[in-house]
Amino acid sequence: MNRPIQSALLSVSDKQGLIEFARGLAALGVRLISTGGTHRALREAGLPVVEVAAHTGFPEMLDGRVKTLHPKIHGGLLGRRDDPAHVAAMREHGIDPIDLVVVNLYPFEATVARAGVSRDEAIEQIDIGGPSMLRSAAKNHRDVAVVVDPARYGEVLEELQLSGGRLAETTRRALALEAFETTARYDAAIARWLFEQERGGEQAERFPRGFSLAGRREMLLRYGENPHQHAAVYQAGTRAGSLVGARVLNGKALSYNNYVDLDAALALACEFDAPFACVIKHNNPCGAAIGRDLAQALELAWAGDPVSAFGSVLALTRTVDRAAAEFLASEQRFVEAIVAPDFAPEAFELLTTKPKWGKNVRLLAVGAVGPAAPARARLELKAISGGFLLQDPDLEETPAGELQTVTHSAPSAAEVEALRFAEKVAKHVKSNAIVLAQGLAVVGVGAGQMSRVDSVRLALDKAGERRRGAVLASDAFFPFPDGPELAIRAGVRALLQPGGSVKDREVIALCDSLGAAMVFTGRRHFRH
């Protein structure tokens, strides 16, 4: 049974498009019922509107906490129009049907994303009446339409105008699904925030007993990791400083692989406060460096592996200035995407007017990048068959006081600085990571190998002659002396690793026999 919509309840925090939509409903003869600020906005626009308190005969109370939690509201939403018993009960109790609910919720996520928001402020932004109305209307969607997104107003109004005030069942189903998706996401965001408030306390659990993903689809992607796969990107949690919330200033639509690589790049860049640049290819860093300024950092990072750098993505910790843009815009260089705090106007113009770059290069302004950036991961999630895994992100840096020189030779102060830099980079290299550095610049990376000695070979090969005098950081212990021996005989002067192998004594003896320094950290940074 598809009856025309005769009454609508409107209660929105986001007033975008509200007046135009309500005016269209009124023109169709729909009776408007509303609450609080929404009622005031409609009345000031000259629209005929009944306040909820007048509709229910019960005043708003408890500072607005109780407005729509009333049988005349929920009875009007939940009553089935094709059930004689429901119709009789509604008539007996003076409950009028409500055919359309237009509700969007208190901005809880935006509130808790603000710096310095108090717990009391956050709690007051937990909407109760709104989700209740959405759930009631969505449950009874055969009889009640529900609109939760202002972006839907235009198409809903057009269908009503073309169909004599009616909405098709397919439309009602789609709108109901959106409503339940919204309430699920809203509740998950609240639960997650409450958990984060308690996390770290003496009585708190490290991981919640229940964990719900709360995401909103931002866009469909052209395809996934491969052309035959479908994909979409979702926004979850704070937008501030995040990849999903970044301002895309230029370029083609981002692909699935762009997002994966940019996320890896941004995670590495957030390790550093200094002017820093990293070059990511296939989800691994092939170059990374700290410089006196961004242009120098870029030059050093690119030199880490210039062949692999072509067609890469970059993450930078400073606003891109003209000098940095001039380095990138040479004919020998091209990248798929750059994420940075921002782009100076002259840098933006340069990057977007070069023939090879132009409209192709994707430029993303993400705001602050560094250890204190709001987008640093709080939890890492991986889907597996039947569920998912959660873990803390690997954010800890080995304290200087925990570094242990285990060889007769000790690294110099400059070598220690380079080792600690290489260790941070190694945290972001996948599987059996070996990172070679000269000063504060990566010169060779070994990644993704099934044996650590092969990663050493690969890193040495990438470094070429730059391996002489370099330092080496390994994400996990050396199971045999073969890797260190290869590195030292190739010119590496100091090595850093967590230690903990049954072969540690043999590895240390090898280093001593060849006059190299080795430092143990006691902390593994393996990334599978």
Distance CA 204, CA 188 (A): 18
- Res 438: pLDDT: 97
Confidence (pLDDT) at 471:
97
The 10s digit of each residue's pLDDT in 230-251 is: 999 988 766 677 888 889 999 8
Of 111 and 523, more confident: 523
Is the pLDDT confidence value at 457 over 90? yes
CB 97, CB 5: distance < 8 Å = no
pLDDT of 200? 58
Q: What percent of the chain has pLDDT over 90?
A: 52
The predicted-structure confidence for 58-70, as pLDDT tens digits, reads as follows: 777 676 677 777 8
Residue 201: per-residue pLDDT: 55
- pLDDT digit string, tens, across residues 388-417: 898 888 888 888 888 999 999 999 999 999
Q: Kindly give the interhelix angle for 84-92 and 71-78, rounded to the nearest 10 degrees.
A: 160
Residues 6+ apart with CB under 8 A from 141: 172, 173, 175, 176
The percent of residues in the chain predicted with pLDDT above 70, rounded, is 97
- At 5, list the tokens: 């919509």
Which run of H or E residues covers position 366? none
Tell me the whole-structure pTM to 2 decimals.
0.82
Q: Domains (ranges, CATH) in the chain? A: 7-193 (3.40.50.1380), 239-365 (3.40.140.20), 401-520 (3.40.140.20)
pLDDT of residue 519: 97
According to DSSP, the β-strands at 434-438 and 441-446 are antiparallel
Once rounded to an integer, what is the mean pLDDT over residues 379-392? 87
- Model confidence at 488: pLDDT above 90: yes
Specify the amino acid at residue 406. Answer: V
What average pLDDT does the structure give for the chain?
Answer: 89
List the one residue out of 347, 349, 281, 292 whose CA is nearest residue 315. 281
Say if residues 303 and 333 touch (Cβ distance below 8 Å).
no
**What is the spatial distance between Cα 239 and Cα 110, in angstroms, rounded to a whole number?**
9
Per-residue pLDDT tens digits for 117-133: 888 888 888 888 888 88
Residue 267, pLDDT > 70, answer yes
Number of CB atoms found within 10 A of residue 383's CB: 9
Question: In this predicted structure, what is the pLDDT of residue 375?
Answer: 64
pLDDT of residue 109: 78
Return the pLDDT at 298. 96
pLDDT at 355 over 80: no
For residues 291-318, give the mean pLDDT: 94
How do residues 168-177 score in pLDDT, each as one tens digit? 999 999 999 9
What's the rounded mean pLDDT across residues 103-111?
A: 82
Question: In whole angstroms, what is the distance from residue 376 CA to residue 521 CA?
Answer: 24
How sure is the predictor about 92, in pLDDT bands with cuts at 50, 70 and 90?
confident
CB atoms within 10 A of CB 82: 10
3-state secondary structure of 14: coil
Q: What is the pLDDT of residue 461?
A: 96
Helix (H) or strand (E) holding 462, with range, is: helix 452-463
Q: Which helix (H) or strand (E) holds 473?
A: strand 471-474
When pLDDT is cut at 50, 70 and 90, the band that residue 324 belongs to is very high
What does the pLDDT read at residue 412? 96
The confidence score (pLDDT) of residue 501 equals: 95
Cα(232)–Cα(224) distance, integer angstroms:
8
In which band, very low, low, confident or very high, does the pLDDT at 94 lie, cut at 50, 70 and 90? confident
To 10 degrees, what angle do helices 153-162 and 169-198 make? 160
pLDDT score of 114 more than 80: no
Confidence category of residue 297, pLDDT binned at 50, 70, 90: very high
Please report the pLDDT score of residue 204 as a whole number: 56
Catalytic residues: 139, 282
pLDDT at site 235:
83
Summarize pLDDT for 169-221 with one digit per residue, the tens: 999 999 999 999 989 888 888 888 888 777 655 555 777 777 777 778 888 99
Strands 7-12 and 494-497: unpaired
Cα dihedral 318, 320, 321, 327 in deg (nearest 10): 110
Residue 445 token pair: 């990376």
Identify the residue with better confidence: 92 or 513. Answer: 513
Check residue 320 and give its pLDDT.
96
Among 188, 194, 198, residue whose Cα is nearest residue 236: 188
Element at 143 (helix H, strand E): none
Give the whole-angstrom CA distance, residue 389 versus residue 340: 30
Nearest to 109 by CA among 183, 181, 186: 186
